[in-house]
Structure 1
Amino acid sequence: MRAIVMKSFGGPDVLQMTEAPEPNPPRAHRVINVRKAGLNFADVHVRTGTYLADVELPYTPGNEVMGIDDQGRRVVALTRGGGYADQVAAHRMTTWPVPDEISDEQALALTLQGNTAWHLLHTCVSLTASDTVVISAAAGGVGSLAVQLAAQTGARVIALASTPERRDLATRLGASAVVDSRADDLTQAVLDAASGPVNAVLEMTGGRVHEQLLATLAPLGRMAVYGYAGGEPAPAAGRVILEHSLTVRGLWLPHLYPVRGALAESMAALFGAAAAGTLQTITSQQWPLEQAADAHHALESRTVTGKAMLHVSD
């Protein structure tokens, strides 16, 4: 079968198309014939050797696929690598049938990024209608879904995005206010937009941005951290956390894979909202499998809006 294989860490050009053996599924796994493979910033961390888990080379990236399983069903699945290929083995606990009314593109957008958005809001920060929440990268795959899910709880949403077009999108999706994420004083920009401190923050950039957003939280505020796309992990800020009784909680979605019912509940809620028309998925660009390197160039240039994916087969 065809697969994208990296034999070293580095730039997008380490992603090379090659012939690979078909998967031999271990117990409790299913083989999926991949139609589409999700592109996520975590894949960039895998490629550059900065991922949270060890990556043993040679390696095929891709933690999210949509395709046809060995029972002939349309399914989506979360995997631990291997998705950039014609076939992949996925555990049955992280494989879900796709409802007929949900398109391939919708299903893929809801899987890794949809589950992340749902658990950031409901598991990590326990968002309520009385909260004001700051959402980073509000036009991205996770952010665009989180804006909608947060607004539907009744919370006030302050959306961060880097361009006027992305801020306009966040407003259309339900944000109450928008902020230029490149502002020199991001703390003050958020406080101005929110008319004061906020209750919750979803943060995925790290470094100085993390510090600036932490400073926007009111006492007893909550921050959910789900990445460090800026390349620098979030610094420890124990004194600030203690002074304001803050909660800072990380989320790495694979920790929920073995938790019985956790992802099944969120997946059902996401499919239901999309089918009812209350949750819009934003699909960016699709690249053929052999252009995985081009797709990674786009991810790193921050030009992707919404969900990006590789087209593998029809």
Structure 2
Amino acid sequence: MRAIQVRSFGGPEVLEPVVLAEPHAGPGELLVHVTGAGVNFADTHQIENTYLSGSELPFVPGSEVVGVVDPEGFPRRVCGFVAHGGGYAERAVVRSNLAFDVPDGVSDAAALSLLVQGLTAWHLVKTCARVQPGESVVVHAAAGGVGNLAVQLAKQAGAGRVIATASSQDKIDLALDLGADVGVVGSPEAHPRDIEHLLMDANGGGKVDVVFEMVGGTTFDGSLMALAPFGRLVTYGMASRTAPHPVSPGNLLVGSHSIIGFWLVDAMHPKRARTMIVEPLAELVAMVADKRLRPLAGHTYALSHARQAHEDLRARRTTGKVVLDPTLDGDRA
């Protein structure tokens, strides 16, 4: 089968198209004939070996796939989390307890968008920030895979004002179309004080209640400065690859601020999977099926173009869900 393999750590250039033996499903696993593999920003860290959990070489990246189980017998279309890595491939093994049927009318891209990114957005709004009616919510990278869903879920939670930030006006327009109330073009290189003022201006001059932050660096620093009393900053990534300044307890005490971290992997523990993965995902799928939630489809790349997908993702040239499609490379093996 065709796959993308990493044999040395580095940037997008280490993503090599290869031919590998087909994997085999063990107990509690399913072999999926992949029609789409999700690309997440975490993948760009994994291939550098800068992710929260380390990787051993060689490996096939990718944590989520959509496709068909048993296509020659009783075909079943599913999306799910891979069991041992290896999503960027024509075949992948997924964990049975973390595989979900895809309803008719839900596209591959939409199904994939609900796994890592949809579940992350759900937990940002409901588990971490616990957004309350009338609160102001800042969504950084609001046209991205997590951001576009967080905008919609925050509005449905009753947020009084959703403030979307993005790197271009086109991306702001997308976020506004999805329900954001205000959009501001920002830069991760801006001074923290400028970011604070930018967010406060977008909130009518007042400080903000909630910030969803995955940029790091000065964006984190400025967002923390912009918090209102009892405000919550939820951090779930560090796309800039620049750490924010250390935060002293005193900076949290004055204003009663909270910094909350979120990593979806922690929700996948067997003791938590049903309430933190299975049930929220069922809710998300139902919302897409009845048009209450509109995942933003991004670009679909051929599997062999994984390097280009990573380059575009890192350069902030993408919006919505980025997908690798093995079927675009020709006849499947």
- What is the TM-score of this pair, normalised by structure 1? 0.96
- Aligned match for 1:78, one of 62, 76, 81: 81
SS in 2 for 1:26: coil
* Range with bigger deviation, 54-63 or 93-102: 93-102
Q: Secondary structure at the match of 1:159?
A: strand
Q: Within 1, Cα distance between the matches of 2:108 and 2:46? A: 25
- Please give the per-residue CA displacement for 1:88-112, whole angstroms capped at 9, x wherever unaligned: 1111222111112312221112221
Runs of 4+ deviating beyond 2 Å: 24-27, 69-72, 233-236
Inter-CA distance 202–87: structure 2 relative to 1 (3 Å threshold):
same
- In structure 2, the CA distance between the partners of 1:49 and 1:168, relative to structure 1 (3 Å rule), is same
1:137 aligns with 2:141: yes
Contact persistence 1:117–1:145 (CA under 8 A) = yes
The corresponding residue for 2:99 is 95
Cα deviations by residue, 1:245-291 (Å, 9 ceiling, x for unpaired): 21111111111112132111111111111111121111121111111
Gaps of 5+ in 1: none
Pairing 1:187–2:201 present:
no
Structure 2 counterpart of 1:202: 212
Letter in structure 1 aligned against 2:165: L
CA distance in 1, matches of 2:182, 2:9: 40
Measured in 1, the distance between the counterparts of 2:43 and 2:327 equals: 20
Distance 1:94 1:225 in 2: 25
Residue aligned with 2:47, SS: helix
Moved more, 274-283 or 116-125: 274-283
How far did residue 31 of structure 1 move?
A: 1.3
The question of whether the paired residues in 2 share the 8 Å contact of 1:93 and 1:257 is answered with no
Shift of 1:11: 2.1
**What is aligned with 1:161?**
166
Mean Cα displacement is larger for which, 234-243 or 58-67?
234-243
Cα contact 1:256–1:263 (8 A) shared by 2: yes
Q: Give structure 2 stretches of 5+ with no counterpart.
A: 329-333
**How far 1:53 sits from its partner (Å)?**
0.4
User: 281-290 vs 235-244, which deviates more?
Assistant: 235-244
Report the 3-state secondary structure (helix = DSSP H, G, I; strand = E; otherwise coil) of the residue aligned with 1:310.
Answer: strand
Aligned to 1:151: 155
One-letter amino acid of the counterpart of residue 4, structure 1: I
Q: Which amino acid is 1:88 matched to?
A: A
Q: Which residue of 2 aligns with 1:297?
A: 311
- Return the match for 2:258 from 239, 247, 258: 247
Give the alignment partner of residue 118 of structure 1, picking from 122, 135, 150: 122
Q: Which residue of 1 aligns with 2:331?
A: none
Secondary structure of the 2:177 match is helix
Aligned to 2:238: 228
Q: Distance in 1 between matches of 2:46 and 2:244?
A: 18
Report deviation, 1:72: 2.3
1:59-103 deviation per Cα after TM superposition (whole angstroms, max 9, x unaligned): 110011111124621111122521001111111222111112312
Matched with 1:33 is 33
Deviation at 1:40, TM superposition (A): 0.9
The alignment covers a number of residue pairs equal to 314
Q: Following the alignment from structure 1 to structure 2, what is the Cα–Cα distance between the partners of residues 36 and 117?
A: 21
Counterpart residue type for residue 91 of structure 1: R
Distance across 1 between alignment mates of 2:273 and 2:13? 38
State the shift of 1:292 in Å: 0.7
Q: Structure 1 CA distance, aligned partners of 2:33 and 2:243?
A: 36
Decide whether aligned partners of structure 1 residues 176 and 252 sit closer, same or farther in structure 2, where only a CA change above 3 A counts: same
